[in-house]
Amino acid sequence: MVERSHVVAFVDDSARKEYDELPSTAENWLKPHIDRAFDWLKQDPFCGVAVPKRQIPVEYRCKGADNLWKYNLPNAWRLLYFVTADQVTIVAVVLEWLDHKSYEKKFGYRVQ
């Protein structure tokens, strides 16, 4: 039996670029927490909270997300990703990370 590996990837080059441009200085708390989330996702891609299918935004579906997971970061930020797999690898595909206000707006919890 082949053991599956777990990988974290970005949905596209712009998400990767945005991550790469996050400052990793001592005063920036976000990047180390995203890195820690990636470590958890490599161990268990299903460690986040599943978002009901009916709530998956169209823009995520257009990027291939037929499932959606959120990983809670500090200060009410969210890391949003979907899980896909082949016979050997399970991939957590990172869509974006956003603050709570933006998350609520994107999912229709807060109308402005």
CATH code: domain 5-106 is 3.30.2310.20
Q: Output the six-digit token pair for 56.
A: 């998956």
pLDDT for the residue 92 = 95
pLDDT for the residue 49 = 97
Tokens 């997300």 -> residue: 65
Which residues of the chain fall short of a pLDDT of 50? none
pTM (2 d.p.) = 0.89
Q: Are 37 and 22 in contact (CB under 8 A)?
A: no
Q: Output the six-digit token pair for 82.
A: 């979907």
